[in-house]
A and B are shown apart, each in its own frame.
Chain A
């Protein structure tokens, strides 16, 4: 069944589109067999997580900072309307143009319209995951506009015909030797070495011409400051700074949740972001700009505020937490599931724990229904989240919503887990039934129990367990049987 709307296609199949992505377990199976990718992901997440842990530990007031960041984000979301209006007013007063986009289609149309007015056939981009969310690059390409990524990781992916697997470190799954191969092949540099300096020098040369010749740029936003109408971007390479100084036109694409009330809130937000995202005390480049300044930087400035399912998430308090996210990616680096699978298995530009709650909601639970189950609920994500999003709580809530949908499905009784849950509920409602069920299970499992007292193979869902794990056979008596025999005299 094909979903309505625009679909970016590469090599005949859609990529990182939750509407067409395979269920998580199927997608995961493919990557689990890719030893190179898993090694790359494990090494990279170890390094980032190690740095993050060290820098958080050195901050004596981390828990207060975290409380403050969480409070700022929660407060903003409770008054999102007002702060967005204030941002629009301030930004407009400063010479910017604010556009509102209800969904991805509207956002793409707005960007295309601006680029047409600019007569642009090329555009340079600062890393923006939101643009991947709305499939902007392939859309522009279809309309004759070449979008050039300027972030090193994004260049690697663009030239390598690949997709981001992490929101902060999009090419996390690619190692140095692979980068060398991509650059050597696409930049025509057969003698390129895999020395990091040589690789960045190659990227630098590749970029320089674009910075100097392409007059239109697209960025995302880390924060939109309501009080001033300003936009903040943090980055490590200086490519963002280049895009903010040389082009004559800048288009900033930002989700509506990116707003913060006051300029001084950046004090807290920038501290928690840098430490959580890259394990740095401060990121190398922090750019702030407000509207247009004659003679300095882009002279035309547009902000596209994207909803695309976000405002619907404001209604319930549990789900609303999702929008507190500042896209630091710390939850991915610590997640034992992400660490095994990497990001592509999630079938969304937003992978990992935050992706597992954000993506299904952006899709209004019509797609990505397996993502809320792509977690062992270990809680490591909640522990590291700098804005205290209780991700396990949201996962459980979304699972309940998925189940509610399943209750209406005609095929539900063919799902052994669904059926098992209903039977278990009936059994647990009465101790007599439970006791009977225990006896029935003993007889049932006895058929599968080997002489050594262990079960090595089970049918149906049980087979998903015995695939890699044995199960000890049922003991001769349950605890309650022992108790009633020994104790209840």
Chain B
């Protein structure tokens, strides 16, 4: 495996605040694979929430901030598909609209160095077997941004397939949204909940103990409903599964 690689972790605002265990797992996993991890404490948010809710002006400021902060970073790894999609799909339009040529050049040189976690593992490290151990029945929720914006394809499955002890359960309607959609979940809470109910039915019929994904925003939505309904299933970010070993099991199992 590649030894001398150095990455900068963009943890994202909600992982930082609500799911620090995902960040800790990313650090543990990457360091185990010989990658040096740095964390720039000046980071905050990519601007996705503002952009998708219609606060374009505000999203401009986050985009500028992100580009400035990581201009000199070798590789940026982000354990959240939707934030990567924000940077890939929406930043170009935002930055073009700002009309700042220097910023545009900085962004264009930065963009190829921005990777979602599974992309980084499979494409950059060439690591499908990350030496993980997770003896549980797991189903994979392909979050919409990972599936359709990033086109992650079979990368997540290739990673999960090599986890020892893990039994992968097939999920029906894997391409269907869980109903989160950021502020959609509160602006259209009823429709969002109806979508969630449909997704939970598919999830529960897998009889998996864990539902995993590469985006904690979907998992917060699904996990919130599972907890409310006393479902026999929990959510766990894939980074935590991949970081898990016999000696150091996932924090969720503690």
Contact = CB atoms under 8 A, between A and B. Distances in A.
A18 to B, nearest CB: 17
A258 to B, nearest CB: 29
Nearest to A416: B186
Given A431-B44, A465-B224, A29 B190 contact: yes
A-B pairs with the 8 shortest C-beta distances? Answer: A376-B181, A399-B54, A469-B224, A403-B54, A378-B177, A479-B23, A464-B186, A479-B20
Contact of A480 (B16, B93, B190): B16
A373 B62 CA distance: 22
B200 to A, nearest CB: 10
B191 A428 contact: no
Main secondary structure of the interface of A (DSSP, over half): helix
Contacts of B192: 376
Interface of A: 24-25, 28-29, 32, 336-337, 340-341, 372-380, 382-383, 393, 396, 398-403, 417, 421-422, 424-425, 427-431, 434, 438, 441, 454, 456, 461-462, 464-465, 467-472, 474-475, 477-484, 487-488
Contact of A336 (B185, B187, B189, B195): B195
Contacts of B242: none
B149 interface: yes
Contacts of A401: 54
Interface string B50-63: 11111110100110
B195 A25 contact: no
A441 B196 contact: no
Given A340-B195, A475-B21, A400 B190 contact: no
Contacts of B47: 428
Nearest to A401: B54
Contacts of B180: 376
Interface of B: 11, 13, 15-21, 23-24, 27, 39, 41-45, 47, 49-56, 58, 61-62, 65, 89-90, 93, 144-145, 148-149, 175-177, 179-196, 198, 220-221, 223-225, 227-228
B43 A417 contact: no
Contacts of B61: 425, 428-429
Given A376-B184, A424-B50, A431-B43, A468 B193 contact: yes
Main secondary structure of the interface of B (DSSP, over half): helix
Contact of B224 (A29, A429, A471, A482): A471
A380 B42 contact: no
B54 A429 contact: no
Contact of A469 (B17, B89, B196): B196
B188 A25 contact: yes
A480 B179 contact: no
A26 B37 CA distance: 48
Nearest to B144: A378
